[in-house]
Structure 1
Amino acid sequence: MIAYIFPGQGSQYVGMGRALIDKYTIAEETFVQANEVLGFDLSSLMLEGEMPTLTQTQNAQPALLTLSTAVSRVLQKEFNVTPDYLLGHSLGEYSALCVGGVLKFEDALQIVRKRGLLMLDAVKNGLGVMTAVANIAGSRVEEICKEVSTIEYPVSIGCFNSPNQVVISGNQQSVKKVEELLFEEEAILTPLKVSASFHSPLMQDAAEKLEEFLMNFNFSHSEAPIISNVTGQPYSDEPIEYIKLLKRQMVEPVMWEKSIRFIHQKGVKHTIELGSKAVLTNLMASIKKDINSIPFEKPEDLSKVKSMITRYLPPVFLDKSLAIAVATKNRNWDEEEYHSGVVLPYQKVKALSQTVQKEDRKPTVEEMLVAIEMLQSVFRTKKIQENEQTERINELLKVTKTEHLLKAYIS
């Protein structure tokens, strides 16, 4: 089984996506689409802007979403694979919802832009910070946070990333005090490149406003299970639950380690990180060494992705159609009918398959419809009952992952 994972804030950098859009038109179109939806030149900011501006949460969030979406579209174009699970870290959860079909890209862009503005507004005085903590037990970090935190100056764990890394989040004064105590215990401290204290009580007002904003959007059925940061479990696919948990995600910690352990328990052995850098891939080794994770951001990453993903590619449509035709039991011994209804249509599709293979491309919708017509002719000639014919064709669409392309053409 395979999962797609999506990074969150802190992984942005100027130049992100450059190599991808230089090679893939669909990636460039995604960047242009983001500009049009947001009403400003996000792509220029991503490709050649200033790092402090890109890091501002209202910019970093749509930027990372755009890159992850562009990468997913390239993957879909190249391989047409549906992952078994989708999960993202913090902001990356919105990328998962977008790629999984729960949110339209245009809607997701507007939501994360608003989310970033709300988060920034929640800490107007700039006293909200986040720091990654390693080389010390998470339970000990939690104890120290509770000792230091107050209602006025809160600090708490914002992310449970791995057995040896958590992230503390909250008021700058309290975070600094916790850092001092952790340093005495030889913890490794890394301030994060973020502009607000995410996943902390300081985000409560922002969470309330986000919930109200989310009510304006449609949440659709997910193409694959999507893991919630809050629970470490799949969403139930009820629209109200998406809104409820995305609100809670603002003030509660990201349960990333729990999420990875869940997909591992379900049989996931491979993950692809869709987006900038390789933060989540690097974390994977400290959570589950037997999950093989690789990052995909640049065209040169594609060879590694291909070697992993080949085993998950759906059967080739034309060849699968030919195999079904051959495997269908014959109940018609009229040679003339058999020749015109089975042999000739079969030979036509076989020649078509050879042409497609020779040209090293995927079959077009029109060519796939020729294969379906062949199967319908074979089924009729071999005297297969109509309900069974429908079942077999629906199964063909399912196993080849072409339902979204062909369902509308089949009565």
Structure 2
Amino acid sequence: MKTAVLFPPLMAIKEKSFYDLYQQYPHVQRKFQEASDILSLDLVKHFFSDDESEINRGLVARPSIVTLSTALFEMLRSELGEISYYLGPSLGQMTAIHCSGSLDFRTTIQMVKSMVELEEQDEANKGYSVYFFYNIDVEKLELAMQEVRQQGGYLEPCMYANHNQMIINGDVKSLEKLNQLVVPQGGLGVTIPFGPPGHCSLLQNVVDRFHEQFMPKAIFRDPDHPLVSNVDGNLLLTKEEVMNEIVGQYTRSVQWYRCLQRLWSDGVRRLVVLGPGNFITKSLQFTDIPFEVETYLTAEEINNKLNSVIKEEV
């Protein structure tokens, strides 16, 4: 049975989330120390603090999610069997690129840091919000978006999460209008806390600077196994294609549902969701594609998988 490994995107993190993983597994501790050394920032202190605004600060949350996902992958790699494809929505794709062998961990963490800093310096995306819309057919949602745009509002897709789910960037007023239009149709939009605009034209200045300042310094290699592109669902087989993916995904919406369709058409029946947060798992519960899904998000799930291997390490 073909298997794909899925890594999580950025999400809002609650106080002390995943601290049990850090406490129980020495490899997670070592990986956080490695990332902290790369960043010259104590990720453990900040990511596992009592202040949720600090936990969800871009320079803390994003590298911490990549670090934790990578650590779990390295712990479970030999137990997962043959992996045919690597992928993840948005930030998850950065983890997938590293775990596929296309980019080393140091450069991956440096890349995430560069992305955060450039986005925070840019003024073009200030004053915008992000909503997650669900329980409404995407085609109906797009018609409602068009109606709001015709009234002068700004709305732009961030991620096509499923056939009935979409994450949308926009000004707050337009997002609220859109929500009013979809509620009578059974849909609902909820704001994404700590969710900066992503994968849209607002980030054109950021991607230009990122391409100029970071990409020339990064050393890529061909992935060990294919990645699936966030941008169009095609396979990424070479380092050049991976580089184009990183730059291209900045201003183009994530075609996550198309990625899932591509996996199914290529014979993938088993998905392994690996890393913190429940976004991918919950989204898959509403997909019309009948994948077999395994999740490794908690200490209990990981212990059940590793059994005696973990006991020996601890």
> Structure 1 length as normaliser, TM-score?
0.69
CA distance in 2, matches of 1:140, 1:57: 33
1:174 — aligned with what?
174
Residue 88 of structure 2 is matched in structure 1 by 88
Matches within 5 A, 1:227-376: 227-239=228-240, 241-302=241-302, 305=305
Task: Please give the alpha-carbon distance, in whole angstroms, between the structure 1 residues aligned to 2:172 and 2:119.
Answer: 15
Q: Distance between the aligned counterparts of 1:211 and 1:174, measured in 2?
A: 31
1 CA distance for matches of 2:51 and 2:26? 25
Structure 1 stretch displaced more, 229-238 or 116-125:
116-125
What is the rounded CA distance, in whole Å, between the counterparts of 2:261 and 2:12 in structure 1?
23
Q: 1:176 to 1:121 in 2, by over 3 A?
A: farther
Coordinate RMSD, CA, aligned: 2.6
Deviations 1:300-351 (A, max 9, x none): 10255469xxxxxxxxxxxxxxxxxxxxxxxxxxxxxxxxxxxxxxxxxxxx
* 1:31 maps to amino acid: F
Change (3 A) 1:144 1:118: farther
Aligned to 1:165: 165
Does residue 202 of the first structure (1) align with residue 202 of the second (2)? yes
Match of 1:9 in 2: 10
Equivalence for 1:74: 75
Q: Which has the higher helix share?
A: 1
Matches within 5 A, 1:31-46: 31-46=32-47
Q: Secondary structure at the match of 2:167?
A: strand
For 2:176 and 2:121, locate their aligned partners in 1 and report how far apart those are by CA, in whole Å.
22
Q: Aligned partners of 2:57 and 2:153: how far apart in 1? A: 23
1:148–1:287 distance in 2 versus 1, CA, 3 Å: same
Query: Which structure carries more strand by proportion?
Result: 2
Counterpart residue type for residue 188 of structure 1: L
- 2:100 touches 2:223 (CA, 8 Å); kept in 1? yes
- What SS does the aligned partner of 1:270 have? strand
Q: Residue 133 of structure 1 aligns to a residue in which SS?
A: strand
Q: Which runs of 5+ in 1 are unaligned?
A: 308-359, 362-411
- SS of 1:190's partner is strand
Distance between the aligned counterparts of 1:250 and 1:11, measured in 2? Answer: 20
Deviation at 1:288, TM superposition (A): 4.5
Q: 1:123 to 1:180 in 2, by over 3 A?
A: farther
Q: How far apart in 2 are the matches of 1:222 and 1:23?
A: 31
Q: Percent identity?
A: 21
* Structure 1 residue 48: Cα displacement: 2.0
Matches within 5 A, 1:12-31: 12-31=13-32
Displacement after TM superposition at 1:140 (Å)? 1.9
- Which protein has greater RCO, CA pairs closer than 8 Å, 6+ apart? 2
Do the aligned residues in 2 keep the contact of 1:277 with 1:295 (CA within 8 Å)?
no
Residue 184 of structure 1, CA deviation: 4.3
Q: 1:11 to 1:101 in 2, by over 3 A?
A: farther
> Are the equivalent residues in 2 in contact too, given 1:5–1:271 (CA < 8 A)?
yes
Q: Which amino acid aligns with 2:187?
A: A
Q: Deviations over 1:132-183 (max 9, x none)?
A: 1112111122222233338x96311111111111111123333233223333
- After TM superposition, give the deviation of residue 116 of structure 1 in Å: 1.8
Report the Cα distance in structure 1 between the residues aligned to 2:125 and 2:99, rounded to whole angstroms. Answer: 35
Report the 3-state secondary structure (helix = DSSP H, G, I; strand = E; otherwise coil) of the residue aligned with 1:95.
helix
**Per-residue CA shift, 1:213-270, capped at 9, x if unaligned?**
222101112111111100112113132x323222221111111111011111212221
* In 2: Cα distance, 1:134 partner to 1:4 partner: 24
1:172 maps to amino acid: V
Specify the code of the residue in structure 2 equivalent to 1:249. Answer: Q
TM-score by length of 2: 0.89
